[in-house]
Amino acid sequence: MRTVREVAVFVTRRGGQDVLLVHRSPGHGSYWHVVAGGMEPGETPEDAAERELREETGLVARLAGGLAVSEYVDVRTEEPADEERRRDPFVARVDVTCFRAVAPDAWEPTLDWEHDTHRWCGPGEASDALRWNGTARALRALLGTAG
C-alpha cells in the first residue's frame, strides 16, 4: 500500500476571526473543506500549498505553520462515495501537511472549477464544518483554539 502526501491551507483574515471554507462542487465530493490538494512530483509541501492556494482561490500569500501534520488512515472509511471511486485502491494512508495563510481583511476568493461557493466563519464553526477530523484538529492547533 502507498501513502499519498497532500497539503491543506487555512486561510484567515481579520486577525484570525474569519476562516475561509470552500464548498466542493457536486462531482468533487460536495462538502465543506479548506484549500487543499495533492503534491506534484518534486514539490515541497510549501510549494504545493502555495500552488493550491493560488489555483483554488487566486490568493498569493506567505505561509505560516507547516508543523501540523494530519494523517488519514484507511481513507475508504471517511471518503464520500464519489471521492472513494476516484481514490487509488492501493493507497492506505494520506498524510496532510497543514499551513495557514493570512488574507487581507476585505479579500474574497476567486474560486476554481472544483468549488461552487465559499463562506467565512469563526474558527470553531470552521472546525465543526470540516469533513475530516484530522484537518479540524490541525486547524485548531494552527489557530491556537480549544477543541
Give the DSSP H/E element, type plus range, for residue 20: strand 18-24
CB atoms within 10 A of CB 105: 10
Tally of domains in the chain: 1
Q: Rounded CA gap, 109 and 59, in Å?
A: 7
Rounded to whole angstroms, the Cα distance separating 122 from 64 reads 19
Three-state secondary structure of 101-144: EECCCCCCCCCCCCEEEEEEECHHHHHHHCCCHHHHHHHHHHHC
Q: Which domain holds residue 68?
A: 2-143
Q: What is the pLDDT of residue 143?
A: 87
CATH number for the domain harbouring residue 44? 3.90.79.10
> What residues does 20 pair with on adjacent strands?
120
The C-alpha cell at 122 is 469563526
Q: What is the pLDDT along the chain (147 residues), one digit of tens a residue?
A: 455 889 999 999 999 999 999 999 888 778 899 999 999 999 999 999 999 999 999 999 999 888 667 676 655 454 455 455 455 566 667 789 999 999 999 999 999 999 999 999 999 999 999 988 888 989 998 888 765
Q: What is the pLDDT of residue 147?
A: 55
Q: What is the DSSP letter of 77?
A: G
Sorted by sequence, the CB contacts under 8 Å of residue 137 that are 6+ apart come out as: 68, 70, 147
Q: What is the pLDDT of residue 28?
A: 73
